[in-house]
Amino acid sequence: MAKDLSTGEKDVATHLHSYTNLATLPQTPPLVIVGGDGIHVVDEQGKRYVEAMSGLWCASLGFSNQRLAAAGAKALQTLPYYHTFNQRTNVAVADLAEKLLALAPVPMARVFFANSGSEANDSAVKMVWYYHNAIGKPAKKKIIARRNAYHGVTVAAASLGGLDGNHRDFDLPIDRFLHVDCPHHYRYAEPGESEQDFSTRLARQLEERILAEGPDTVAAFIAEPVMGAGGVLVPPAGYFEKVQAVLRKYEVLLIADEVICGFGRTGNMFGSTTFGLAPDILCCAKALSSGYVPISAVMVNDKVHRAIAANSGKIGSFGHGYTYSGHPVACAVALETLQVYEDEQIVAHVRALAPAFQAGLQSFADRKWVGNVRGVGLIGAIELMADKARRAPFAASHKAGYSFAALALQEGLIVRAMGDTIGLCPPLIITAAELDDLFARLTRAMDRFEAELSQN
């Protein structure tokens, strides 16, 4: 009789993992998570971890919110599935669309639903192209993003992104997708260049790129208010003000990717409010349901909606949508999530805790191998450097960030290494005492990291 496989062994033998070195996976079996409560998750050995990344930036209400579980159970018993094709709808999707429009950072006209941030951004791309065909500008199709940006992993969304690991050997990016410089002042500013001057230079570069391509060919610019997977990059002073002036000058649509920043993370309901964006299209996901069920949304303003609605009338249909667009269970859970944010005053809670969180991050700024610390609200990052005086990074072969994350895991703390940048994005429900515990674990990991580097 064949022996029973453990969960880890079964997983390695059957599961094609995301963002994993598949060649070495058999030698480094996965961490098996079996439960969670509050800001903690538990592995199969019973060890508890502070989940300082909210899973993948999404479990904003932690891992055991009974209101969300009850909302999902009730929805499953009421209407477990229906679609939104061919003039069908359901109560939850209509209520959720109404609620999102009321919460939007700028006036929006309609909401389209999908299942992930990738699908939302992919849908936004199609809407941009459809819109420009509708208004008689069929050549205006190129979309500009930033290097180091992350916008998802579908063919279009990964092309929007500016991360080499999402392009290499996938034959990406495809045509029509362009990239300009990353707004990372610490890494890319010229000596003595202020944040305002750096922002001016990047806006000028954007304008020069639009002119070089031809303004009649450039359709949209996409940006996260804070670049998440690119390293938690907070925009330099004046950046979005200057960039948006360029976009308006050449009638280029602005897509705000709020997949990570949306629903309180930056201290406002949307990062667009925090950083003064006025998007034509806004994409959100993750904290829309606190990660409990897959759902995302694309909001479009009146200008975009009127054009695409008229065009659908001309050709007979807006031929886009997913089997699970507006899924009644996902919409019900998302509605309850938004209600919890309101009832428990989550945005006010984030604002109250943000100073302590950011101060905790800044306490690492003087460490020998810490080059830069940054963040806003309850999101932040620590960028490791081999030589902070010269801003010289570690050799890629050193894998400093992954080594640090492994040490943090041993201390019962889950963080994310994005190269040598350590990201933190704890559940928004974290308390002051839990925040102290998070930083105590992070300090122990940093002490061990420094000790190992000193020995080597």
pLDDT tens track for 265-285 = 999 999 999 999 999 999 999
Q: Are 128 and 281 in contact (CB under 8 A)?
A: yes
The pLDDT of residue 28: 86
Residue 369 to residue 400: CA distance in whole angstroms? 10
The pLDDT of residue 1: 42
Reported as a single tens digit per residue, the pLDDT across 178-226 is: 999 999 999 999 999 999 999 999 999 999 999 999 999 999 999 999 9
pTM of the predicted model, to two decimals? 0.96
| pLDDT of 399 over the 70 cut | yes
Burial 89-126 (b: 16+ CB within 10 A, else e): ebebbeebbebbeebbbeebebbbbbbbbbbbbbbbbe
In sequence order, which residues have a C-beta less than 8 Å from that of residue 158 and are 6 or more positions away? 118, 151, 152, 166, 167, 170, 172, 173
Reported as a single tens digit per residue, the pLDDT across 305-331 is: 999 999 999 999 999 999 999 999 999
Q: Which domains, and CATH codes, for the chain?
A: 31-64+345-455 (3.90.1150.10), 68-343 (3.40.640.10)
| pLDDT of 45 over the 60 cut | yes
The pLDDT of residue 277: 98
Residue 274 to residue 267: CA distance in whole angstroms? 7
Burial zone of 88 (CB within 10 Å; 0-12 exposed, 13-18 middle, 19+ buried): exposed
Longest dimension (CA), the chain: 72
